[in-house]
């Protein structure tokens, strides 16, 4: 009874891994953002993405003014953060003394000291 049995679990695990995943790359791949179907269609038809897909158009004039087109609604609005929902994503505008100068059904103009624009 003084004999100890040596486990062969690691050996079998390595052999199984080598045979199961042979020819398959098991390293994690970097996921690249994909274009939506409408964006791909606009690329193939050589049309602007905003026409077909309704992509948001942001025009910044200096650090004090932003014109935002093709938005769906305002999520959050205060003097330091304006968060807007678009068809594709959420857009966060950070800054100081932010104010919405005007807004229509599909366009708004934001003024103030703009520090950053984030896409979520």
| pLDDT, tens digit (0-9, with 9 covering 90-100), for 37-77 | 766 776 777 766 666 667 888 999 999 999 999 899 999 99
Comparing CA positions, the residue from 38, 68, 41, 43 lying closest to residue 54 is 38
**Mean pLDDT over each residue of the chain, to the nearest integer:** 80
Domain coordinates in residue numbering, the chain: 56-119
Q: Which pLDDT does position 93 carry in this prediction? A: 94
N- to C-terminal Cα separation, the chain:
65
* H helix and E strand count, the chain: 3, 6
**pLDDT beyond 60 at 1:** no
Q: Tokens representing 103?
A: 């807004």
Is residue 33 a contact partner of residue 72, using CB atoms and an 8 Å limit? no
Give the CATH architecture of domain 56-119. Sandwich (2.60)
């Amino acid at each position: 009874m003084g004999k100890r049995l040596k486990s062969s679990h690691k050996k079998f695990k390595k052999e199984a891994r080598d045979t199961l995943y042979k020819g398959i790359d098991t390293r994690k791949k970097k996921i690249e953002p994909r274009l939506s179907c409408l964006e791909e269609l606009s690329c193939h038809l050589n049309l602007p993405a905003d026409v077909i897909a309704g992509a948001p158009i942001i025009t910044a004039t200096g650090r004090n003014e932003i014109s935002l087109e093709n938005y769906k609604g305002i999520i959050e609005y205060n003097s330091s953060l304006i968060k807007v929902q678009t068809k594709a994503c959420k857009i966060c505008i950070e800054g100081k003394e932010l104010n919405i100068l005007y807004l229509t059904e599909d366009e708004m103009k934001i003024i103030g000291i703009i520090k950053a624009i984030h896409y979520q």
